[in-house]
Amino acid sequence: MGNKHHIVVVGGGAGGLELVTRLGNKLGRKGKARITLVDAGLTHVWKPLLHEVASGSLDANANEINYRAHARKHHYEFQLGRMTSLDRQNRRIVIAPFLDNDGNEVVPERDIHYDTLIISVGSTANDFGTPGAQDHCLFLDSLSQARRFHNLMLNAFLRKNHDAREGLDHQLPITIIGAGATGVELAAELRLASRELPVYGMNHLAPEDIRISVIEAADRILPALPARLSLAATRELERQNVQVLTGQPVAEVREHDIVMKDGTEIPSQMTIWAAGIKAPEWLGKLDLETNRGNQVVVKQTLQSVTDPDVFAFGDCAACPQPDSDRPVPPRAQAAHQQADTLYKTLRHRIEGGGNPVPFVYHDHGSLINFSRYTTVGNLMGNLSGRSMYVEGKVARLFYASLYRMHQNALHGPLRTAIIWAMDRVSRAMQPRLKLH
């Protein structure tokens, strides 16, 4: 086993898990290479679903993938822990000790030798140093944060329902800072939750008592997407009684309110930060060239400009696009495409089939899902190069297919079909909102 080429992938997000699955099925199963996935968590949940976990419209337990079980089935190894440092000269990475919930060491610090290293650790929220953000905002970077948000939300609803029954002040202002896709979709999910809860006994709290606001520093929400999509999303949020505030950044976040740049104070008892992303800070401390956002700077082949045996992709990599001065955008579809390109490159490396494959990003459009209300988006035409605006059931079908494509990459068509059928049964039998 020691003589096999060892490919180490750090980060089991959407792109990283898809990559090790394909490498394991092709190279690991045939004994051509040793594949190892390193991740700080035991399970994988598709990150675009975290806002649904937070609001309670999705049960994470039913959508988690256990890395150990998945590794056994797809012929790769799994190492639990967080990468902390890199020794490029000796081709080793160091993994921090793994501690239990009480702080006791379960697995000590260890190092892993690699022949090819791939970093795909995603991104975290970027609060741009806004005063009070770290102390008073909730974030949705991980499954644990989404679950914490869900518990806090249920407790807040329960407390305000009691206050309403007692004739006390029961307004609950919730503010989302950042109106990208996550912020907009979270607002819709929270509105759904506010309308569903009375069905389950919290009938003293009316949906209008939950005051949801979305704040965007740019002059329109979804600023990275086409203006038509932004306008449709604004109309849909306002139709759902979500306040949309644009054109002014947040200056400070306090415990019970938000201070805007012009001094306006907005009450907020729950504040979620969804504005901007950056790569994890520890990446900037490795012996690799990184940019101001801690992203590993890579060539078009996704190889680090510092070391050709170290690759990076997804949100944590700054990858150039041909004929453009802007890097590949940090989107799920980009990570999926990069995983496909890297799979080809790594097969070439192991099987002697040629040079690294340059990555070319193809924008297939964007879809914004407003919970069970509607879906809007634009799809890019592969032949004409023009975008097509879609909404309603057609857009919802395309949106649902994105997750099924991810599942298909991890499980294959047969198991994905079984999972889809089980999801249908589960939705018919379970409450529409997770209540614990």
Other Cβ atoms within 10 Å of 43 Cβ, number: 17
Does residue 158 or residue 117 have the better pLDDT?
Answer: 117
Rounded to the nearest 5 degrees, what angle is found at the Cα of 145, between the Cα atoms of 141 and 151? 150
Mean pLDDT rounded to a whole number for the chain? 89
- How far from the centroid of its chain's Cα atoms is residue 402's Cα? 13
> Are domains 5-123+279-351 and 133-275 of this chain identical in fold?
yes
The pLDDT confidence band at residue 380, using thresholds 50, 70 and 90, is low
**Domain residue spans of the chain:** 5-123+279-351, 133-275, 365-429
% of the chain with per-residue pLDDT over 70: 95
Spatial separation of the C-alpha atoms in residues 392 and 380, rounded to whole Å: 17
Q: What is the mean pLDDT of residues 23-38?
A: 96
Residue range 287-328, pLDDT digits in tens: 999 999 999 999 999 999 999 999 999 999 999 988 888 889
Tokens of 153: 């939300």
The pLDDT confidence band at residue 433, using thresholds 50, 70 and 90, is low
Q: What is the mean pLDDT of residues 276-281?
A: 92
Rounded to the nearest 5 degrees, what angle is found at the Cα of 73, between the Cα atoms of 70 and 76? 75
Cβ distance 173 to 213 under 8 Å?
A: yes
Cβ distance 251 to 269 under 8 Å?
A: no
Q: Check pLDDT > 70 for residue 432.
A: no
The predicted pLDDT at position 383 comes to: 38
Spatial separation of the C-alpha atoms in residues 175 and 178, rounded to whole Å: 9
Q: Would you identify the CATH topology of the domain 5-123+279-351? A: FAD/NAD(P)-binding domain (3.50.50)
Residue range 45-56, pLDDT digits in tens: 988 889 889 988
Other Cβ atoms within 10 Å of 154 Cβ, number: 18
Tokens of 330: 């940090």
Q: What is the mean pLDDT of residues 87-100?
A: 93
Please write down the HEC assignment for all residues of the chain: CCCCEEEEEECCCHHHHHHHHHHHHHHHCCCCEEEEEEECCCEECCHHHHHHHHHCCCCHHHHCEEHHHHHHHCCCEEEECCEEEEECCCCEEEECCEECCCCCEEECCEEEECCEEEECCCCEECCCCCCCHHHHCECCCCHHHHHHHHHHHHHHHHHHHHHHHCCCCCCEEEEEECCCHHHHHHHHHHHHHHHHHHHHCCCCCCHHHEEEEEEECCCCCCCCCCHHHHHHHHHHHHHCCEEEEECCCEEEECCCEEEECCCCEEECCEEEECCCEECCHHHHHCCCCECCCCCEEECCCCEECCCCCEEECHHHEECECCCCCCECCCCHHHHHHHHHHHHHHHHHHHHCCCCCCCCCCCCCEEEEEECCCEEEEEEECCCCCCEEEEEHHHHHHHHHHHHHHHHHHHHCHHHHHHHHHHHHHHHHHCCCCCCC
CATH fourth-level superfamily of 133-275: FAD/NAD(P)-binding domain (3.50.50.60)
- How far from the centroid of its chain's Cα atoms is residue 401's Cα? 17
Rounded to the nearest 5 degrees, what angle is found at the Cα of 170, between the Cα atoms of 192 and 241? 35
User: pTM for the complete prediction?
Assistant: 0.90
Q: What is the mean pLDDT of residues 8-37?
A: 96
Other Cβ atoms within 10 Å of 3 Cβ, number: 6
Rounded to the nearest 5 degrees, what angle is found at the Cα of 340, between the Cα atoms of 122 and 334? 45
Does residue 397 or residue 409 have the better pLDDT?
Answer: 409
For 78-96, letters b (16+ CB in 10 Å) and e give bbbbbbeebebeebebebb
Q: Check pLDDT > 80 for residue 23.
A: yes
Q: What is the mean pLDDT of residues 381-389?
A: 55
